[in-house]
Amino acid sequence: MPARIHIVGASSSGTTTLGAALAERLPAAHLDSDAFFWEATDPPFATKRPPEERVALMEAAMADAPSWIISGSMMGWGEVFVPRLDLAVFLRVPQEVRMARLLARERARYGQAIEPGGAQHAAHLEFVEWARNYEQPGFPGRSLERHRAWLAALPCPVIEIEGAPSLEDSVRQVLVVLGERR
């Protein structure tokens, strides 16, 4: 039986890592929402694709995949895929863990470019501030408040994985829920 899963959470909560691990175990196609949301640029994550283009690209990626896992947020542009979901997984990682992961990923991705005077310094500071505001009530961007409301309206079961369990523990939790649904 095909599995169609959406994994969502704040930036650096581990959605892509869990999505890739589950895709390998099931097997399923792994679709990272960032690959559809952002145009390929250097540096990356600089130019957003129009929503209709994101949807068309994701539709094409799903065309030959009976099972798929979408990691990352598609809130606000990917609602067309919601009726197809079998399960949504919400990763809720403590902010201090998440921000440490985010800063490490930024350093690995951009190196000296994010340091003061570097070409990516201003963009880095803006991104870090955006990510830090995820849990602030009323924050207009992707936020805990908006994710909770979006998840509550989904027609499929939603499980929440809270804290920072090991990747294998998270995979196991999702597979148990999938097994119960089959």
Q: Are 70 and 22 in contact (CB under 8 A)?
A: no
Mean pLDDT of the chain, nearest integer: 95
Asked if the model's pLDDT at residue 33 lies above 80, the reply is: yes
pLDDT given at position 44 = 87
Question: Distance between CA 74 and CA 55 in Å, rounded?
Answer: 10
Question: Is the pLDDT at 141 greater than 60, yes or no?
Answer: yes
DSSP lists the bridge partners of residue 27 as none
Q: How confident is the model at residue 13 (pLDDT cuts 50, 70, 90)?
A: very high
Q: What percentage of the chain has pLDDT greater than the value 90?
A: 91
Mean pLDDT computed over 90-119 = 96
Among 9, 6, 7, 16, which residue's Cα sits nearest to residue 105?
16
CATH topology of domain 4-167: Rossmann fold (3.40.50)
* pTM given for the model: 0.93
Confidence of residue 54 (pLDDT cuts 50, 70, 90): very high
How many Å apart are CA 101 and CA 70, to the nearest integer? 21
Domain boundaries of the chain, sorted by first residue: 4-167
Partnered with residue 161 across adjacent β-strands are: 91
Contact 12, 131 (CB under 8 A): yes
1 band by pLDDT with thresholds 50, 70 and 90:
low
Mean pLDDT in residue range 115-143 = 94
